[in-house]
A and B are shown apart, each in its own frame.
Chain A
Amino acid sequence: MSTATAIDVLPFAALVGEEHALAARADDTVQGVSPSLVVEPADEAEVSAVMREASRQRLTVVVRGGGTTLAWGTPPRRCELLLSTRRLDRLVEHQPGDLICVAGAGMTLAALQAHLGRAQGHRQRLMLDPPVPPEVATLGGIVATGCSGPLRTRYGTVRDLLIGVRFVLADGTVGHAGGKVVKNVAGYDIGKLLTGSLGTLAVITQVALRLHPAAPDSRVVLLDDSTPEALAARVQGLARLPVTPSCVDVIWPDRTCAVRVDSSAEGAERQVQIIAARVGGRILGEGEAAALNSSLAQRPWMGDGVVAGIAAPRSRLAELIRLAGRHADEVVVRGLIGVAEARLGADPAPITALRNGVEQLGGHLVLHRSPLPLRDLVWPAAAGAAVELMRSVKHALDPQGVLAPGRHLGGI
């Protein structure tokens, strides 16, 4: 797809060791763009040296964590070098007493959760359940895509959990922002800038994250109703109740809404009773709830259809369900916060129709997972002063366009 620039491999081999500067193979291809070289630096200093060398050779670089979301965004215009964060996989610290941890960007989500689980006398977790396989997806990748799952309803996204970040710019400059304390206003919040930046601004090398205790118990209520309006009315009724659900996911065409409460045994029981009494619904037994829970985060990602991320005003819930129901095969709406994920076929017409509809509601749609022929539909139209500012920020941090050029909104 792209004309590869000739790479001088030797300097990279000298920096990271020959066994970590490898000729790229077919499965290293990024959205149809084939790199020549895969480099696996061992630490931040090596990342910096690799980036400096790549800039010097005027190569373009795509960062790969677990490779689970490399298809997000538009294809990079070029990519000669794939920088793998695989070896940046160390747990730097876990402070259970402070509910924070610091880890290398290449650590997988599952490995982190396993480490946290091993802390004696604590049951802490990173409250993120993104729709990617946790044994493969890395922390850095999750931050770079900003992806999240059902838990977002209660704990927010990675934006809300990231308290510090270390990173390397295209020219090798090593930067950091935030720290490892939960409250901190010193310096610009570069962590938020990098969240969702799809590797176009910097290589994330290390993250500090806020943790939460895992609740001892969990109960699920299913709210069923036949029309989007009736279902939406129940969700809006739920919003007024004195309950704190972790997940409120409307699933269509299943005509149901899964409400999960994570709390103490007593707290969870009382809350589901309140919900059932006030907005109706069926409290699930343990087995049924467990089965539903394990599938929740994966819907609507099962199979390999196109998945769109949608956001719309909270108050337009019924219209959003109806609209998505019309154009998508399956949609999950986080009912309390106005975001949704919808699975569609590869036909552009329903995607465009859904996008137009969502925009009329005052929202927007981005394709997360989509095949190459749909690349022009990935981002909504981008214009205006905000996009100009985004371009300026990209230019300020990566003036030569080294990092995944073209992958982000508006060809940034």
Chain B
Amino acid sequence: MDSGLVAALARAVPTGGLITAPEALRTYECDGLTGHRVVPSAVVLPESTDQVAACVSACHQARVPFVARGAGTGLSGGALPVADGVVICLTRMRAILDVDIQGQRVTVQPGVANLQVSDAVRANGHYYAPDPSSQSVCTIGGNVAENSGGAHCLKYGFTTTHVVGVTLVTPDGRVTTLGGAVADAPGYDLLGVVVGSEGTLGIVTEVILNIIPIPETVRTMLCGFASMSAAGLAVSAIIAEGITPAAIEMMDRLAIEAVEAAVHADYPRCQAVLLVELDGPRAECASTFARVEEICRQSEAQEIRVAADASQRAMMWRGRRAAFAAMGRISPDYYVQDGVIPRGRLAPVLDGIAALEQEYDLRVANVFHAGDGNLHPLVLYTGSHHGEGDRALELAGRILDLCLSEGGSITGEHGVGSDKACAMPKMFSEGALEVFTRVRAAFDPDGVCNPGKVLPTPRLCGEVPGPYRPHPLEIAGVATRM
């Protein structure tokens, strides 16, 4: 790397904030998509917006690409470094700058972990709604970039609903604010474009979040079904009735088996379970809950358990949250897919996935956000068996094709990143991709900000990615996937 740039970066950040030693750089070689690895030339750890701007300016002047990084839990290779590029890691910017309970706003630096926001306002009866499973570690900056979701986003909306303003360092190093604490900022809604842009339009250095009151009451039930399609039909019936539960999560027999082996959550032994949670005013919740129970019964639920108290509820969620980490109990390796289908099409798509299992002679465990049609099929395989990893990857790709054939999406929350950039043409026309490219160029005409992500490039799409490996956080038991 150009020594002038290294010197400029060193000046931009406090002592100890520049990493160039090869061993130390390896920490940053991948995110949660561990099959893709690239060692960057340098990593900087700025502590303020001005420092980020100085780092970005230096890179921009040298026309050296840079990649923003939060906690590195992303599952689509969004924070994958660019060879010969710089990683700008935001984890030292972890201050909560302002809490305004009456105005329902919290202003944070991007390195603040998702859960810290709720922790800061819980005593005042509020919380930050988006709850990715990685919430104890993943950063708000990463959430903004990925427009992250979580089990309770079904009712409350994804990150984009709750981010009202950001400070953005543009790819040429200027600092600007988009949106703000107050609604309806005049001009184009650039904030809406930046959220979910996967770090390709600039670096977010401050975020204003909307917080909401903790609901008066929460009710949770676990329903066992004789088949996945029966559970799928129950979900469709609940949604079609216009009920918006706080969460509807679904797991199949394989997933239940794995969970039981791992955490003994005492789930019903059946082909499928639904975890349904409702929250809100007591008056509303009680009648709707009864109605959901009735629908599940009509959909031939074999067993319905209602959580009698908070500890029983926690137990039900424990099973769900452990699902991904538990896969290790039943398979040495697995690949996580993330696709979306219309919610009325759950049953046929699940049948389609079952048919693919047969075709490929591989097992697929299903654990997913059923209420918004966000599937997370886990393709199980044994990496040491010759060719099985490739078959698993191919099967995972076929599942995306299935989602698309139903009018769905190639990603509901994990993002496109480097993982699915080459699949974008399956979902978007040439014209659409051209529009994305032009919007990106409006922010980053020189192509220095997280290049190679989101949009397909010939170079990228010639390469074949490596197989999935568990994220270190999963191995350590700190977080589970989704």
Contacts and interface: CB of A to CB of B under 8 A. Distances in A.
The answer to whether A and B interact is yes
Contacts of A193: 188-190, 192-193, 439
A184 B242 CA distance: 20
B193 A187 contact: no
B439 A192 contact: no
A182 B344 CA distance: 12
A218 B290 CA distance: 21
A384 B343 contact: no
A395 B442 contact: yes
B359 interface: no
B300 to A, nearest CB: 18
Interface in A174-205: 174-177, 179-193, 195-197, 201
Contacts of B134: none
Contacts of B153: 183
A363 B434 contact: no
Interface stretch (A29-37, A96-104, A277-285): A96-104
Contacts of B344: 95, 97-98
Interface in B275-319: 280-284, 287
B283 A267 contact: yes
A182 B412 CA distance: 9
Contacts of A122: 240, 242
B227 interface: no
Contacts of B174: 385, 388
Contact of A242 (B215, B340, B415): B215
B438 A396 contact: yes
A382 B187 contact: yes
Interface string B61-79: 0000000000000000000
Most buried by A among B100, B174, B283, B414: B283
A181 B373 contact: yes
Given A180-B342, A267-B283, A385-B170, A189 B241 contact: no
B472 interface: no
B241 A213 contact: yes
A18 to B, nearest CB: 28
B236 interface: yes
Interface stretch (B20-28, B176-184, B260-268): B176-184
B408 interface: yes
B20 to A, nearest CB: 31
Contact of B284 (A146, A175, A263, A384): A263
Interface residues of B, number: 87
Interface string A261-278: 001101100110010000
Contacts of A397: 435, 438-439, 442
A175 B432 contact: yes
B407 interface: yes
Most chain B CB inside 10 Å of its own CB: which residue of A189, A213, A382: A189
B102 A160 contact: no
A81 B143 CA distance: 43
Given A212-B242, A243-B281, A181 B341 contact: yes
Contact of A175 (B177, B197, B414, B435): B435
Given A181-B408, A395-B442, A196 B181 contact: no
A190 B193 contact: yes
Interface stretch (A220-228, A295-303, A311-319, A324-332): A311-319
B407 A180 contact: yes
B196 interface: yes
Contacts of A309: 184
Contact of A97 (B104, B240, B410, B431): B240
B62 to A, nearest CB: 21
B469 interface: no
Contacts of B441: 396
A386 B187 contact: yes
A186 B343 contact: no
B186 A184 contact: no
A392 interface: yes
Given A182-B372, A314-B104, A390-B188, A242 B282 contact: yes
Contacts of A182: 343, 372-373
A160 B195 CA distance: 13
A379 interface: yes
Contacts of B190: 193, 386, 389-390, 393
Contact of B283 (A190, A195, A270, A385): A270
A314 B186 CA distance: 17
Contact of B176 (A192, A266, A385): A385
A159 B428 CA distance: 21
Given A97-B240, A184-B340, A271 B188 contact: no
A408 interface: yes
A102 to B, nearest CB: 9
Nearest to A387: B187
Q: Which of B282, B411, B442 has the most CB of A within 10 A?
A: B442
Contacts of A179: 340, 407-409, 427
B27 to A, nearest CB: 27
Interface in B342-398: 342-344, 369, 372-374
B16 interface: no
Nearest to A392: B442
Contacts of A379: 186
Interface stretch (B39-47, B89-97, B111-119, B154-162): B154-162
B413 A186 contact: no
Contacts of B239: 97-99
A409 B408 contact: no
B283 A338 contact: no
B447 interface: no
A183 B189 contact: no
A257 interface: no
A362 interface: yes
A160 B436 CA distance: 21
B103 interface: yes
A409 B186 contact: yes
A279 to B, nearest CB: 15
A271 to B, nearest CB: 6
Given A95-B342, A175-B431, A311-B185, 19 more contacts: A98-B344, A123-B242, A174-B429, A177-B432, A177-B435, A185-B413, A185-B415, A187-B432, A190-B439, A193-B189, A212-B242, A244-B281, A244-B284, A267-B281, A309-B184, A311-B184, A339-B183, A382-B187, A395-B442
9 contacts: A98-B344, A181-B342, A185-B158, A185-B409, A190-B435, A193-B189, A266-B283, A274-B283, A382-B186
**6 A-B pairs closest in CB distance:** A213-B242, A192-B192, A385-B176, A97-B344, A242-B216, A270-B283
